[in-house]
Chain A
């Protein structure tokens, strides 16, 4: 997994509450058996005026000019500013894969859906929870100032605004550690292989039916 330490990037808006994973990446693109290549279909139904199909050349499709990511001022954005309950709906990891593939490194919102939030960390994407008023303030500043960029410092757990003021954020220490170092958590868990085996042996005695083969 790629590490995340510090990142400075242009901010783009996704200005609505309850953005669900179907909106982030519609189901027809879930047929892929790969982890990459979802970027062109991020927010497909909002971004293009036609219906997208997998494997299509998106550069030929009609763009929705009203959608922020299609506007010149947000080109190259890597920090997404969003409203509450971002990423609700399905468990599809294709949602963070699409955001990552597009070039986003961090998402700021007042709240996230659990599974999506968790999936982000597995893919080097940092979801940052800030209170609703702070997020509203960031939206205002971003709309008012073209080229609005934020610096995200994971080590210090702070978002640095263009004027130098900082906003602290919380992050779980295990996730922070993994993200800072780009660690693969399977490798970390396997360091506890003995504890897992010991649990398994004890459990097999207590509840043997849990280990019966199916079919």
Chain B
């Protein structure tokens, strides 16, 4: 018999029951909730007179529409100016009280973007099944966990039964071997992967990311990669457990301790694909060939290297793809063949569950240090992913580097990633963003998003247009 993949093992460990029709009940260890996709689920429980199956499996935090601006944020929930947003955050408070769910409240130390606080607190651990009513739940797969984004009906289902009804997905291995060049980051790797396989390339698969370039990456980098598995169409992305994982998890507030830690480590040591495991699909990339990436269109697969040009739809043979490119260029206000480096930015956003961890902020600060944002750039937002990232960054003095560069240092939230709070793009504005989606209107009505790494975003903020961060740093260029 062929060996098992990491996904096979995680699936098997959580299999409660296989049904004849090919579906299965999968036990869920950790259920993260936030204010946007949970209210209707709690309401559903109330209407049906149901309770939570295991309330200590839930951890809540408000992130999507809490204000990032310091003065407004200081007022807590009551201080949220937008009434509809306030009601949503209040509703989370009330539901957590009524159902006795642990919540990291709006200004409490543990608060942050749900996918940032899970791993950093140890609320999500290797070997767990993790769900959240949010598609970027795949992030937690970086720990060697099986993490799915789910819809609100499924949120309610997990609340009431602790299980998810699932059909087993197929296995895909994305292997990135070799060494990344200086200035090339996890974000560039994942954008390159999506550019290669397309936004539907991973549909129906659980993707395991492997290869030496992934092995040599920090946990933060692996989270950035798994975060965007969904942008390749895969509900779950994951990385095998290794020493990097263990070193990261050890000592986290809710990670096992003492004798429990020893037992857990032993249990986790099998969380990797067997050497003879068979994957349904294998995709390979050479790390050396990956350059800093910039998205030019309205789908994350529409990416190019920073030194390339915006594609010409006329060169595309496939009709659906050609009209897709034409529409994207029109929306983005770009012309065919335009150099990526000629795209001028109006705003820059450094944050989101993709790139708001300490390492991301360090990378941005390293570029921003001693430089200033270009006058033509209206605003540069730096939004740490959690209260603890914020505290750490301030301890390292990163906030001072940012403010000296004319960047704004904000409070932990999703912020301009999806513009549910006050941080938005105006119509027609171009934004260099470290987030994960460049869909039409995602960052504000008519806004134009370009996905990049934190270092590339900071360099673009200083230059006012996209620049190759490798040359930029080497040349010591200033605005």
Contacts and interface: CB of A to CB of B under 8 A. Distances in A.
B43 interface: yes
Contacts of B25: 189, 192, 195-196
B107 interface: no
A210 B128 contact: yes
A215 B110 contact: yes
B167 A172 contact: yes
- Give the interface size bracket for B toward A: 35 or more
B84 A32 contact: yes
A54 B23 contact: no
Given A18-B324, A23-B439, A199-B27, A88 B260 contact: no
Contact of A31 (B53, B65, B445): B65
Contacts of B442: 22, 27
Interface string B19-48: 101110101010000001101100100001
B121 interface: yes
A186 interface: yes
B157 A210 contact: no
Contacts of A89: 135, 437, 439
Interface stretch (B70-78, B144-152, B275-283, B344-352): B144-152
A94 to B, nearest CB: 8
A164 interface: no
B133 A91 contact: yes
Contact of A215 (B23, B104, B161, B440): B104
Which residue of A20, A83, A203, A208 has the most chain B CB atoms within 10 A of its CB atom? A20
B16 interface: yes
Nearest to B59: A214
Contact of A186 (B17, B149, B161): B161
Nearest to A215: B102
A31 B150 contact: no
Interface stretch (B179-187, B199-207, B212-220, B450-458): B199-207
B394 to A, nearest CB: 23
Interface in B125-176: 125, 127-128, 133-135, 149-154, 156-157, 160-163, 165, 167
A119 B327 CA distance: 28
B327 A16 contact: yes
Contact of B151 (A18, A93, A111, A214): A93
A74 to B, nearest CB: 20
Interface string A185-215: 1100110110110011001001111111111
B163 A196 contact: yes
B256 interface: yes
Contacts of B439: 20, 22-23, 89
Contact of B441 (A26, A113, A214): A26
Contact of B50 (A90, A186, A196): A186
A152 B160 CA distance: 33
A213 B102 contact: yes
Contacts of B165: 174, 185, 189
Contacts of B91: 33
Nearest to B420: A27
B440 A115 contact: no
A196 B102 contact: no
B122 to A, nearest CB: 8
Contacts of A193: 161
A101 interface: no
B445 A90 contact: no
A57 interface: no
Nearest to A174: B21
A190 B161 contact: yes
B23 A172 contact: yes
B85 interface: yes
B201 to A, nearest CB: 10
A30 interface: yes
Nearest to B445: A51
B98 to A, nearest CB: 14
A115 B202 CA distance: 12
Contacts of B375: none
A111 B267 contact: no
Which residue of A17, A55, A122, A211 has the most chain B CB atoms within 10 A of its CB atom? A17
A118 B151 contact: yes
Interface of A: 16-18, 20, 22-23, 26-28, 30-35, 45, 51, 54-55, 83-85, 88-93, 96, 111, 113-115, 118-119, 122-123, 172-174, 177, 184-186, 189-190, 192-193, 195-196, 199-200, 203, 206-215
20 contacts: A16-B324, A18-B299, A33-B40, A90-B437, A91-B37, A91-B150, A93-B153, A111-B203, A113-B203, A177-B21, A186-B48, A186-B161, A189-B165, A192-B25, A193-B161, A207-B263, A207-B267, A209-B264, A214-B59, A215-B254
Given A55-B84, A90-B134, A115-B151, 12 more contacts: A17-B320, A20-B299, A33-B43, A51-B446, A91-B134, A93-B37, A114-B233, A172-B22, A189-B161, A192-B17, A209-B125, A214-B121
The 3 closest A-B pairs by CB, nearest first: A122-B153, A209-B256, A33-B39
